[in-house]
Amino acid sequence: MKRVPLGSTGVDVSQLCLGTMMFGDRTDEAEAGRIVDLALGSGVDFFDTAAVYAGGKTEEILGRLLKGRRDRVFLATKVNVGNGSEYPAQIAASLEASLQRLQTDRVDLFLLHWARADMDPPAIMAELAKVVRAGKARFIGCCNFPAWTFAHFNAVATSIGAPKLINNQLPYNLIERGIEVEILPQAVAEKIAITCYRPLMAGVLAGKYIPGQPAPADARATTDERIPKWLAENAGGVTHLLNLAKAKGVPPSHVAIAWLKSRVGVTCPIIGVSKLAQLQDAIAAFSLELTADEQQALAASFATEVKEVSQFYGPLRRSYSLLKK
């Protein structure tokens, strides 16, 4: 597995980040163990989890599975709150509980799970600084932060002498492309690590569904009303994806992942799996490379780029060339 630099940290991690959200939910401990074994045996050492996954069971399972081999993994977890005003009081307590479940004395990356209303950046950054200085988290970051919010939090960190956020975890795929506006250019300019969840858009980009055809009886689309909507709205793009995959002799999921991992500014796709076979398939996908023309044509076929009226300002928000290199 290819290794990539994690932003400005000086640390390299596997390009595939293993998402563990299904451990303790759809994935029992035995299957989770097989997944972890395959990941480590394949050079995948970046693992992502969170305190809220399966009510804490995910972290508990991961802690047991990593016992005796914790040092082989770059481990990320998250703190989540309902209102931003709760973050300062919950940061240390949440991390301490996570460390107990994970059976470790530190995590490598500790993330604020969501941007919430009523956040107090100085108080939050001060509390995050404490867990870093106590050696309980090597680095800190966030999930789902707009570019301006990320920049503001780091400006506050500088003003109070606290460590900066080094990672922003966000949804990104051929259908969800909002981070192309400002967030990816910001990441390149400031060497921010960008990790991307939902790479296959709940199976819509995996070849599981065919536009114009009924979904399989046991498919998630039969209970998740978003999936038929996404499929209908992006039928042309999905058809292009299926045809390109067929021409290359690979599953559509490989093409979708290859497109994502090649995007400028993207550090790691997060591949969440519930079955060993899914991870086997994902690992194979990381060996596929698309040409620049194939990437461009594929993205254009979805027509999901954020639309703006201004022909001048819009491109500036996506530009990687405004600053001298």
In a domain, 242, yes or no: no
For 101-155, what is each residue's pLDDT tens digit? 999 999 999 999 999 999 999 999 999 999 999 999 999 999 999 999 999 999 9
Q: What is the pLDDT of residue 212?
A: 79
Q: Which residue ranges in the chain fall short of pLDDT 50?
A: none
In a domain, 141, yes or no: yes
Q: What is the pLDDT of residue 214?
A: 75
Domain that holds residue 183: 3-202+260-289
> Could you count the other beta carbons within 10 Å of the beta carbon of residue 133?
11
Number of folded domains that form the chain: 1
Q: What is the pLDDT of residue 267?
A: 98
Whether 208 contacts 235, CB under 8 Å: no
In a domain, 109, yes or no: yes
Q: What is the pLDDT of residue 221?
A: 62
Q: Is residue 87 among the annotated active site residues?
A: no
Q: What is the pLDDT of residue 55?
A: 96
In a domain, 266, yes or no: yes
In a domain, 224, yes or no: no
- Catalytic-role residue among 53, 87, 197, 209: 53
**CATH number, residue 24:** 3.20.20.100
Query: What are the backbone angles phi and psi of residue 189, rounded to the nearest 5°?
Result: -65, -35
In a domain, 74, yes or no: yes
Whether 205 contacts 241, CB under 8 Å: yes
In a domain, 153, yes or no: yes
Q: What is the pLDDT of residue 222?
A: 64
In a domain, 307, yes or no: no
